[in-house]
């Protein structure tokens, strides 16, 4: 459980940055080199490298190095873990709110009928 929590913490911390989210969105379409990723941003190559390192350390990104070429792709398992956690939270809150609604509906005062 502790490792799972640490993995989620790292995933959400990595996704907290808008540049990293854009990188993830671009990688969702397929593998890219670090240079191809950098070409889509108005920030320096070293800044992109730092963002890629954060994504890699979080487990969201896998990198294959071939000489000077760094090929990057998403790690679907880590994204699935985050999606599963979000889904479990959605189900919990939906169920809780449904129970609250049922309770409020059953405890609401009944309208009085008018006598003729």
Q: Please provide the CATH number assigned to the domain covering 2-77.
A: 1.10.10.10
Residue 41 makes CB contacts below 8 A (sequence gap 6+) with 19, 22, 48
The two three-digit tokens of residue 61, written as one number: 């990104």
pLDDT, averaged across the chain: 87
Stated pTM of the model: 0.73
| Residues 105, 114: Cα–Cα separation, whole Å | 22
Whether the per-residue pLDDT at 103 is higher than 80: the answer is no
How many helices (H) and strands (E) are present in the chain, helices listed first? 5, 3
* Region 81-108 average pLDDT: 80
pLDDT score at 100: 76
CA distances to 62, 84, 106 from 34, rounded to whole Å, are 12, 29, 59
**In this prediction, what percent of the chain has a pLDDT beyond 70?**
92
Domain residue limits, the chain: 2-77
Q: Residue 44's pLDDT band (boundaries 50, 70, 90)?
A: very high
């Amino acid at each position: 459980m502790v490792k799972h929590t640490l993995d989620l913490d790292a995933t959400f911390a990595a996704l907290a940055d808008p540049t990293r989210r854009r990188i993830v969105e671009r990688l969702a379409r397929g593998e890219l080199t670090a240079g191809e990723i950098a070409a889509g941003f108005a920030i320096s190559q070293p800044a992109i490298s730092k963002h890629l390192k954060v994504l890699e350390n979080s487990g969201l990104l896998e990198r294959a190095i071939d000489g000077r070429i760094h090929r990057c792709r998403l790690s679907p398992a880590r994204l699935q873990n985050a999606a599963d956690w979000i889904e479990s939270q959605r189900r919990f809150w939906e169920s809780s709110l449904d129970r609250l609604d049922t309770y409020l509906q059953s405890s609401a005062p009944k309208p009085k009928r008018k006598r003729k």
